[in-house]
Amino acid sequence: MSRQPPEQQAPPVQRLRVRYAKRGRLRFASHRDFSRAFERALVRARLPMAYSSGFNPHPRISYAGAAPTGAASEAEYLEIGLAARLDPAAAHALLRDALPEGFDVLEVVESPGGALADRLQASRWRIELDADPAACRSAVTAFLAAAEVPVQRMTKKGLRDFDARAAVLRLEEAEPGGAAGGPEGRVVLEVWLRHQEPAVRPDDVLSGLRGVGGLPEGPAPRVTRLAQGPWDEAGQQVGDPLA
């Protein structure tokens, strides 16, 4: 007896884009951890999800530009497809109540079409270090002056070499309040990274600062993604992908 083909699901009637944060201890959650938590939240929230076709249908969720494990973020994005129309504000409230604290839904808007991933061209990161401020400034100057900064990172395909300098759009010192300088022994850097292949992460920039600028190894930094979106070349800033 031949196996019957799977039922074909109807395409989504509405797509919603979601901005969420990874905060507190949940910055150590992997992307797989978040995706499992989000799918459980969809069930609890009873959103009218659209499903993929095939023998093992899945809710239509598209993730884009997930932050690495260990990094906090105020700018993570995904898109969901719905089988019935829903007010974005209502979806926001349902998801906010269904997700655990630390996975915080910040904004939900209707998708205007196109690929969300195409809107995520760059990220702005905050890196908090326990380091000597003078040594850090010297390393930043050397990094920015370099034509290229080779670094290595272990990937799923083995040890990989790439240029960390090529992805850095801006790199500067800041303090918790925003002005230059900070508490003794504490340095805050902000770095704007272009999304490219291979992806350059904040820890790659730190490796480059150590390699080309002599920044000493220190305690693990605290890394937070502040923004992710289209890159405004004129303003040298990351824009809002949901705008």
Q: Is the pLDDT of residue 66 over 50?
A: yes
Q: Is the pLDDT of residue 214 over 50?
A: yes
Give the residue from 58, 95, 94 showing the smallest Cα distance to 76.
Answer: 95
Bridging pattern class, strands 72-82 and 222-229: parallel
Report the first-to-last Cα separation within the chain, whole angstroms.
53
Alpha-carbon distances, residue 39 vs 47, 81, 88, 102 (angstroms): 11, 13, 18, 16
Q: Where does the chain hold its CATH 3.30.70.580 domain(s)?
A: 14-118
Whether residue 16 contacts residue 88, with contact meaning beta carbons closer than 8 Å, is answered with yes
Report the phi/psi class of residue 229: left, alpha or beta, with left for phi > 0 and alpha for psi in -120 to 50. Answer: left
Report the phi/psi class of residue 185: left, alpha or beta, with left for phi > 0 and alpha for psi in -120 to 50. Answer: left
Question: Residue 127's pLDDT band (boundaries 50, 70, 90)?
Answer: very high
SS (H, E, C) the chain: CCCCCCCCCCCCCEEEEEEEEECHHHHHCCHHHHHHHHHHHHHHHCCCECECCCCCCCECEEEECCCCCCCEEEEEEEEEEECCCCCHHHHHHHHHHHCCCCEEEEEEEECCCCCHHHHCCEEEEEEEEECCHHHHHHHHHHHHHCCCCEEEEEECCEEEEEECHHHEEEEEEECCCCCCCCCCCEEEEEEEEECCCCCCCHHHHHHHHHHHHCCCCCCCCEEEEEEEECEECCCCEECCCCC
Q: Quote the pTM value.
A: 0.90
- 120-238: CATH class: alpha beta
- The C-alpha atoms of residue 204 and residue 222 are separated, in whole angstroms, by 14
Residue type, 185: G
Residue 157 vs residue 121, higher pLDDT: 121
pLDDT digits (tens, 9 = 90+) for 7-63: 777 899 999 999 999 999 999 999 999 999 999 999 999 999 999 988 788 899 999
Q: Is the pLDDT of residue 184 over 90?
A: no
Q: Which fold has domain 14-118?
A: Alpha-Beta Plaits (3.30.70)
Structure tokens at 126: 């905050």
The rounded mean pLDDT for the chain is: 92
Q: Is the pLDDT of residue 182 over 70?
A: no
- Measure the CA angle with vertex 101, ends 194 and 93; round to 5°: 90
Estimate the crossing angle of helix 88-98 against helix 31-45, to 10 degrees. 110
Taking the CA atoms of the chain, what radius of gyration do you get in angstroms?
Answer: 21
